[in-house]
Chain A
Amino acid sequence: MAVTCLLGVLAGNATSANAASTLEAVKEKGFLTCGVNTGLPGFSSPDEKGHWTGMDVDVCRAVATAALGDAKKVKFIPLTAKERFTALQSGEIDLLSRNTTWTLTRDATLGLNFAGVAYYDGQGFMVKKSLGVSSAKELSGAAVCIQSGTTTELNLADYFRLNGMKYDPVVFDTSDGTAKGFDAGRCDVLTSDQSQLYALRLRLSKPDEAIVLPEIISKEPLGPLVRQGDDQWFNIVKWSLSAMINAEELGLNSANIDSKKMSKDPAIQRFLGMDGPKGKGMDLSDDWAWQIVRQVGNYGEVFDRNVGMASPLKIKRGLNSLWSDGGIMYAPPHR
């Protein structure tokens, strides 16, 4: 995969990868190609019928709704951590929405732009209860399962070095691989973003025998990425995400949005595209934000059904609550 993408960069013309604009290219194709995780419950995983669900998947759907007016017009491309950036750089996908941590290197040297934060996460550790470990500080000498090519891999090395501890890195290509390795006893510890640990724990043969240690050793702001050099597309992705967050703040959700059309609240009027900036400047239809909420839902709905209390993962909102509810989820005003 990485190599075929590379050939794209080598031989293809940069302008064709960027087209004149990504939006035009997407409209011409009639669907959005969105890079997602190969299978991570709660963020992106296909069900038995091949239907993709998860938070990252819903971000793809929101962008497709804004660009094409239809949440179903997405082609999901499952990518491993190692493949994801080349796939986006070479134009294989229009958007990467795959639990990717926003870092300086990725922002500044890969030719990519982060369009915001869809989930505030942090790296943690999971161990088997039988080891009798209660803190990550006791893990010196352990074998640790990690996914290759992630910030997790780097944070782990930093953390163990800082605390003067040793470890054996057992590196897998996919997060599913790390879970299998942990299950089989190839390693003592599974490390990943905390949200993933909860998701991967469901995959274990005996989920109750594993515990997540209290330490969080890093901050991992996860969000969607686009290629540099297409500001219009960058804005569309950025504002699709913001629209979901703002909708929750305004009390708009997929069930009530149509009835709010008559609302006197000027903020809601602007949001629904009856007034204010509408779709101008982004070349979108005036009701783009309205359609996102109607077809995909607001941020809170998306969180709840995929990773929150309405899902098997049962992750608390915590940092991901709205700023007005004590969290840090905050989107620029829709005006």
Chain B
Amino acid sequence: MLKVLFKRLFSKLWRDPVWRDVLFQTGLILAIVLVGYQIIQNTLHNLETLGISTGFGFLSESAGFGIIQSLIEYDESFSFGRTFVVGLLNTLLVSSLGVVLATLLGFLIGIASLSSNWLLTRLAVAYVECFRNIPLLLQIFFWYFAVLGVLPSPRESLAWGDWLFLNVRGVYIPKPELTGETPVFYGSFLFAFLVTVSLAWAGRQYKRQTGRTLPWIKSLFLVGIVAIPLITGWVSGVRVGWELPVQGRFNLSGGLSLIPELVALLLALSIYTAAFIAEVVRAGIQSVSKGQREAAAALGLRQGRILKLVVIPQAMRVIIPPMTNQYLNLIKNSSLATAIGYPDLVNVFAGTTLNQTGQAVEVIAMTMAVYLLISLMVSLFMNAYNRYMAMVER
């Protein structure tokens, strides 16, 4: 009796699509959890059998090796945890600079490829075909060994006065140094920034309500962001000094320097990715129907204004999603840094730290998690931007 009842209930539930979905999906989740658990247990067991240390305790041990470029304070006495941060910041540095450069270059070339100037169009096409089709690693080697590697030695640096030096060890420029009441300067800078932001907001509101631009807004911006800090700084005695690079016994010392590894990687990443971005931009612009241009031209707008006010805003909707992919690719490709010894996350942490501690599982897991996190954040930001730019239906 009970059996029959159960059977009936089951077959009824089985036919109910909602219940069936719940059943299958619970089953799937359970299976994934089980497999994951199995993998973790198996790994831990294997590591123990093999006599390999596990855990994250190594992060607080002192690293004992030097890193050539660090955005935060670092020397050999800092911990392996610190090497992780140093590597991460170096990755973020080269990626963010790369994204900005690649975007600028990509846009210029994308627009150039649609120009009515025959030569400009050909050049843009040649650029895209050339840099898109050569493996990135080879391009990195090209910039590092063939271009930067043949620069003169530090003693025979190419120099422009006392200001700019270029040699096989990198580029050296003076480093600005503020002396005097610097808090006053920074405070007034912050104040000026806030003033400018509120001005911009007010100007926007005004334009939205009246359709007119506030006539004096541009000069106000200039006053807000430039003049206020300069005046308060000057009055309170803040002066800008320059620390010049000086020839030391072996190398130039002092000033700001860009190591050739960074320059080579940055050039290769930006130039390579720009070729893809140029294509994305070209496709985006071509997606805007010809009628839009013609209509804008009929209103008497000049070419530049047509591009800025009519074509690009519409093209952006097509451009942003594939652009996100290019940014993610650039960030991930920055891990090729290892090939030329730029101290990025993969080189410093997943390379040297892994090798010095031997804790491959933990180190690789952390590195993968970080790349995943960076990529997710970029795509979150770009998706938000995409929604902001999307066509507003009225």
Contact = CB atoms under 8 A, between A and B. Distances in A.
B68 A168 contact: yes
Contact of A13 (B42, B145, B355, B360): B42
Contact of A161 (B77, B145, B251): B77
Interface stretch (B1-9, B17-25, B47-55, B220-228): B47-55
A97 interface: no
A62 to B, nearest CB: 25
A153 B352 contact: yes
Interface stretch (A102-110, A215-223, A276-284): A102-110
B115 interface: no
B383 interface: no
Interface string B236-261: 00000000000011110100000010
A289 interface: no
Interface in B27-50: 39, 42-43, 45-47, 49-50
User: B42, B49, B50, B53 — which one has the most chain A CB atoms within 10 A of its CB?
Assistant: B50
Contact of A167 (B52, B66, B355): B66
Contact of B47 (A9, A156, A177, A184): A9
Nearest to B150: A184
A139 B66 CA distance: 16
A141 B358 contact: no
Nearest to B58: A109
B282 interface: no
A149 interface: yes
A34 to B, nearest CB: 19
A172 interface: yes
Interface residues of B, number: 47
Nearest to A161: B76
A157 B76 contact: yes
Nearest to A81: B355
Contact of B248 (A5, A89, A110, A141): A141
B251 A143 contact: yes
A131 B250 contact: yes
A154 B358 CA distance: 15
A20 interface: no
Contacts of B360: 2, 5-6, 9, 86, 89
Contacts of B325: none
Nearest to A82: B355
Given A157-B66, A171-B352, A227 B169 contact: no
B52 A111 contact: yes
A82 B351 contact: yes
A115 to B, nearest CB: 15
Contact of B352 (A105, A141, A148, A228): A148
A158 interface: yes
B68 A172 contact: no
A85 B51 CA distance: 13
A3 interface: yes
Contact of A171 (B46, B47, B68): B68
A13 B39 CA distance: 11
Contacts of A142: 249-251
Nearest to B43: A10
B149 A82 contact: no
Contact of A184 (B168, B347, B356): B168
Interface string A144-171: 0000110001101110110000011111
A110 B76 contact: no
A229 B50 contact: yes
A186 interface: yes
A82 to B, nearest CB: 5
B84 to A, nearest CB: 16
Contacts of B250: 131, 139, 141-143, 188
User: A11, A153, A229 — which one has the most chain B CB atoms within 10 A of its CB?
Assistant: A153
A212 interface: no
B351 A149 contact: yes
A307 to B, nearest CB: 25
Interface string B67-91: 1100000011100000000000000
Contacts of A3: 364
Contacts of B369: none
Interface of B: 39, 42-43, 45-47, 49-53, 64-68, 75-77, 145, 149, 153-154, 168-169, 248-251, 253, 260, 338-339, 341, 343, 347, 350-352, 354-358, 360-361, 364
Closest 9 CB pairs of A and B: A149-B355, A111-B51, A157-B76, A14-B46, A169-B66, A111-B50, A111-B52, A14-B49, A109-B53
Interface of A: 2-3, 5-6, 9-15, 17-18, 81-82, 85-86, 89, 105-106, 109-112, 131, 139-143, 148-149, 153-154, 156-158, 160-161, 167-173, 177, 184-186, 188, 227-229
28 contacts: A2-B350, A3-B364, A5-B360, A9-B46, A9-B361, A11-B42, A82-B355, A89-B50, A89-B358, A105-B356, A110-B358, A111-B47, A139-B250, A141-B250, A149-B351, A149-B356, A154-B64, A156-B66, A157-B65, A161-B75, A171-B352, A173-B351, A185-B153, A185-B154, A185-B168, A186-B169, A188-B251, A227-B50
